[in-house]
Amino acid sequence: MTLRGAVALVTGGAKRVGRAVALALAARGASVAITYRSSAAEADQLVRSLRRRRVRALAGRADHTDVAQIRAAVRAVERTLGPIDLLINSASNFYPTPLATVTEAQWDDLQQVNLRAPFFFAQAVAPGMRRRRRGKIINLADVSAFSPWPSYLPYCTAKAGVIALTRGLAKALAPHIQVNAIAPGPILPPPGLSRAERRRALANTLLKRWGSPDDIAHTVLYLAEGTDFVTGQVIAVDGGRLLA
């Protein structure tokens, strides 16, 4: 796939990793749409910045727990920018959920945003990609899908589901659509992470340092533009976390 002239949708693209991905795609010549749930100011700032660079850009609010809003967001992008060639499922939420205190609402929230939303975004873009016989979907998983954290089990379970979803979509959408996942490790310390938890995160990597959102963005570029012969795979971008 050539990104110049392509249309990319990055869910959760207003901040952190999603923002880095949106910027990287725009730099390669793609038109970029992002969704956000509550980061309106950040989304507006990003879109204005991209438009100043003569990039066709769009931001739309979508509650990622509401399937109707997911479908409406896809329709809005395609009406404004054109058919979606590349979907990056980056939207995520993350917070501690100790086993003894997990509520149904927390479980549902983490499953809906981290697993159900990527499925329904993929479902919404797939028919058009199939008609055009081209398209790519890249899901953001997490290394915790392979080695779950006891105090974040609903989140880890959802991210493990993202890996199964990626492999299933790769089969369901072959041969013309490639579907892959990226499993970040310690890229950005999440809000609220204690100093001791940060030290442990670094100690548990081979490279002994935090990664950058740009490390994820570069991997997205590889899967989007660097190859059309990879599908159903999960690339860990984790500084060696899974081996440590």
Whose structure tokens read 């991210």?
159
Cβ neighbours of residue 138 under 8 Å, at least 6 residues apart? 86, 87, 88, 89, 179, 180, 181, 182, 220, 223, 224
Q: Is 147 in a helix, a strand, or coil? A: coil
Which is the catalytic residue, given 36, 95, 152, 155?
155
Lookup: tokens for 150: 């006891």
Q: What is the arrangement of strands in the sheet containing 7-10, beginning at the earlier edge strand?
A: 57-61, 31-36, 7-10, 86-89, 135-140, 177-184, 234-237
Q: Is 7 in a helix, a strand, or coil? A: strand
Query: Which amino acid type is present at position 70?
Result: I
Cβ–Cβ contacts within 10 Å for residue 122, how many? Answer: 23
Asked if 98 and 142 count as a contact pair (C-beta separation under 8 A), the reply is no
| Residue 155: active-site member | yes
Indicate the DSSP class of residue 100. Answer: G
Q: Is 174 in a helix, a strand, or coil? A: coil
Asked if 244 and 185 count as a contact pair (C-beta separation under 8 A), the reply is no
Catalytic amino acids? 155
